Amino acid sequence: MLLSSVAERVFWFARYVERIENTARMILVNNNLLLDMPRNSTLGWEPLVSITGIPEKFYKNHKDANERNVMSFLVMDAGNPSCMLCSIRHARENLRTSRAIFPRSVWETLNDLFNYAKENKSAVLTRRGRYAFLSHVIDSCHLISGKLSASMSHDQIYEFVRMGRNIERADMTTRVIDVRADNLLPKHDEELKPFDDIQWKSVLDSLAGYQMYRRYVHVRVRGVEVLRYLLQDSHFPRAIHHCLGQIEQCLRNLPLNEAPQYALVKAQRMVRNAKVENIVHDNLNDFINKLQLAFIDINAELTSTYFEGKEVSAALYYGEPGIRTTA
């Protein structure tokens, strides 16, 4: 029998691993973008603080969103509950208390990442050490995801891994669109207009999507097309439509899924019916805010159904070795 507390730990383990990777990539992309932009541009490190959604925690201890302060806040600041080191620690703790249901190699990789990050965290404060540190973090997260896919039974417990990963991905995509893309829409600084292509490419790079965009969209990087791709593409792993579709597949394999599915369908309908051209010129922020509220509803229904529900422990099963389970 799968206890609801175990399902919750698995779900949040996957969310934290995804968050670690997203944070590392976001820093790397911003670092590279600033190297490509003119020195007098108004772009800087503050957008990364905004993407976290908790700028008030940053400005509680820092006056300026300069490079060093933002690096510290995103990677090692205990005052930021989503900082990279905190996320690694939380992922490790959730995995440690559920080790019996995961391949041993996943624990070993995550534990190695924890020790590496703890010992080398100060490397991000210098440009020379930043690339190697963040690349190692991203590669470790990819290794964990690969081991989960290749070595873990794709049973009901694996569905919680997939749901955690995809709701975190969808959330990050909305945050990147909200902060990065909104700053690139028609009202932005005319002096930076010649650099639009570079900035829109950075939006895609923040989500590891540039090459797939060029492969499937077949046009140069343009704002409306980038937004449509990140919102509505059905194949790209970090497109919101794809993420919600993955969660839908997971719920089909789980019992007691009526309430989460109802919340999910509302979010899917918002994305599917969105007229991107109108959103761009009307109110992108308002649309993204409504979408994020829809994600909160999905997470709340998953929590109340599978992590707090009285019936869930009796309804969910993960098999003993060699025993095939059914939904």
Triad 62, 66, 72: Cα angle to 5°: 65
- Taking only the tens place, the pLDDT of each residue in 53-76 is 889 999 998 889 999 999 999 999
Q: Which residue, 145, 146, 180, 181, is CA-closest to 165? A: 145
Spatial CB neighbours of 222, under 8 Å, sequence gap ≥ 6? 200
- Token pair 């190692």 is found at 136
pTM higher than 0.85: yes
CA distance 132 to 317: 42
pLDDT band at 299 (very low <50, low <70, confident <90, very high): very high
Give residue 326's pLDDT band: very low, low, confident or very high (50, 70, 90). Answer: very low
- Tens of pLDDT, residue by residue over 218-274, are 778 888 899 999 999 999 999 999 999 999 999 999 999 999 999 999 999 999 999
Q: How many CA atoms lie within 13 A of 173 on its CB side?
A: 30
What is the mean pLDDT of the segment spanning 25-50? Answer: 80
Q: Determine the distance from the C-alpha atom of residue 313 to the mean position of all C-alpha atoms in its chain, rounded to a whole number.
A: 28
- Domain chopping of the chain, boundaries: 4-315
Among residues 148, 175, 140, the alpha carbon closest in space to that of 24 is found at 140
Helix intervals (H) in the chain: 4-36, 46-52, 55-61, 67-75, 84-96, 104-120, 127-151, 156-176, 196-205, 210-217, 223-232, 240-252, 258-272, 276-281, 284-302, 312-315
- The pLDDT tens digits of the residues spanning 159-202 come to 999 999 999 999 999 999 888 776 655 555 554 455 567 888 88
HSE, side-chain direction, 13 A CA sphere, residue 165: 22
Close Cβ partners of 296 (under 8 Å, ≥ 6 residues apart)? none
Share of the chain above pLDDT 70, in %: 87
| Residue 195: predicted pLDDT | 56
